[in-house]
Amino acid sequence: MAKGDATIDASTKAVATSVYRGAHGDRDTRPYVHLKDFVYESAPHKYDCHLMAYLFRKSLDGPTLEWIYSLPPEEAEDFRIVQERFLQ
């Protein structure tokens, strides 16, 4: 994936099994479910887009974490953009 590519390509989605860490160390392979759980658990911070982006990055592992590092910094620091790109 090219640097700055803001979408998760099909090969990354296929490889991204077991890369979303749950609160208890369990893992989920479905991006939508991971995002929904993350938003629910992070609700007290929902108005701080920079903090939410940082916390979301901390919830990722493996190829998906590499994907978020490929985003331009101004996108990676805004949770509204990150969640949109994450579900593309």
Residue 21 or residue 80, greater confidence: 80
Residue 7 or residue 87, greater confidence: 87
- pTM score, two decimals? 0.67
**Position 50 pLDDT exceeds 50:** yes
pLDDT band at residue 32 using 50, 70 and 90 as cut-offs: confident
**Position 28 pLDDT exceeds 70:** no
d(CA 23, CA 29): 14
Radius of gyration of the chain (CA): 12
d(CA 32, CA 49): 19
Residue-averaged pLDDT of the chain: 76
What is the pLDDT, as a whole number, of residue 31?
85
**Alpha helix (H) ranges present in the chain?**
10-15, 31-41, 49-58, 62-70, 73-76, 79-86
What is the pLDDT, as a whole number, of residue 34?
87
